[in-house]
Amino acid sequence: RAAPRTRALLSSLIQHIHDFARENALTVDEWMAGVDLINQAGRMSTDRRNETQLLCDILGLESLVDSITFSSSSSSTPPTASAILGPFWRKDAPRLDMGASIVQPGSVESDEHTHVYGTVTDYATGEAVEGAQLDVWQTAPNGLYEQQDEGQPDMNLRGRFTTGRDGRYSMYCLRPTSYPIPHDGPGGKLLRALDRHPMRPAHIHFIVTVPAYQPIITQIFDRRDPYISNDAVFAVKDSLVVDFQPLEGDPNAQFELLYNFKLAKV
Ligand code: DHB
Ligand code: FE
């Protein structure tokens, strides 16, 4: 027998799709154009490129599902806000020692290396969270994640760090840059049909996980970015907008950022 939740979702989906077709007097050609777009996205999707998810993101669906699933807390010190995963996370990023850099030696030219550090705490008690894994990923200055870019070594600009007893983390990465979501396929077609640009504001992705706490999938965004209030995939939340600070006296970085993660018990 079909699961009740699945049945409910499907009947609602059918109702809304029928309403959509009726209200707009959808033609056969228009419906087929939609089928074509989804087929193209499917043919194009691989381990390295999730075009169908990209279509959902352009339509604002992933961001809507995120805001429904993680409705913000009314606490004055709420847990860290979530944000969409996006299509570029990879599993099994390298495990790195605390204080290491996710920038592989010689992989990119940048004078915007950044020391990112802070704590992982229990949002309700303020206690340090030991054994929290931070899975981090970002693009190179050319706007490409390593799996999109033959010029970067495997797993460049990705890493996993685990907090010790003090709940602290510390890592080096790049100050992120704004860049376009891939727009050479169906996603680009959709954006052009909507008269929209493909740019995302500069961001760094994090997934913070530890047993007994709710995992946080999130991104932090650079306030100075021109696209900060105009993200092509609608992921920015105020509490995730940060200020990178110029850093002096550290031979490994020109900027720093203090960012604390607050977790909620399961
Ligand atoms: C999307 C998300 C990202 O983080 C990104 O870097 C590119 C695209 C997306 O939601 O489609
Ligand atoms: Fe991204």
Complex ipTM value: 0.93
Ligand 2 centre distance from Cα of residue 20 (Å): 31
Ligand 1 centre distance from Cα of residue 218 (Å): 12
pLDDT at 1 over 90: no
Mutate to test the pocket of ligand 1, among 55, 61, 174, 233 (most ligand atoms within 8 A of CB): 233
Res. 49 pLDDT band, cuts 50 70 90: confident
Among the listed residues 199, 200, 183, the one whose alpha carbon sits nearest the alpha carbon of residue 41: 183
Tell me, what's the pLDDT at 75?
Answer: 67
Which residue did the predictor score with more confidence, 69 or 42?
Answer: 42
Tell me, what's the pLDDT at 70?
Answer: 79
Among the listed residues 170, 162, 260, the one whose alpha carbon sits nearest the alpha carbon of residue 210: 162
The residue-averaged pLDDT of 217-237 equals: 97
Mutate to test the pocket of ligand 1, among 45, 200, 231 (most ligand atoms within 8 A of CB): 200
Furthest C-alpha separation in the chain: 66
Residues by chain with Cβ below 5 Å of ion ligand 2:
86
Which three-class secondary structure state does DSSP give residue 122? strand
Residue bearing the CA closest to ligand 1, atom 9? 86
Tell me, what's the pLDDT at 129?
Answer: 98
Among the listed residues 240, 258, 98, 113, the one whose alpha carbon sits nearest the alpha carbon of residue 169: 98
Q: What is the pLDDT of residues 59-100, one digit of tens each?
A: 999 999 999 887 766 666 789 999 999 989 999 999 999 999
Which one of the ligands is nearest to 41 CA? 1
Which one of the ligands is nearest to 62 CA? 1
Atom of ligand 1 nearest to the CA of 233: 10
What token pair was written down for 96? 């790195």
The residue-averaged pLDDT of 154-179 equals: 97
Give helix 186-193 / helix 28-44 axis angle, nearest 10°.
140
Tell me, what's the pLDDT at 2?
Answer: 85
Residue bearing the CA closest to ligand 1, atom 11? 54
pLDDT at 194 over 70: yes
The residue-averaged pLDDT of 137-149 equals: 95
The DSSP result for 169-186, as a single string, is: EEEEEE----EEPP-SSH
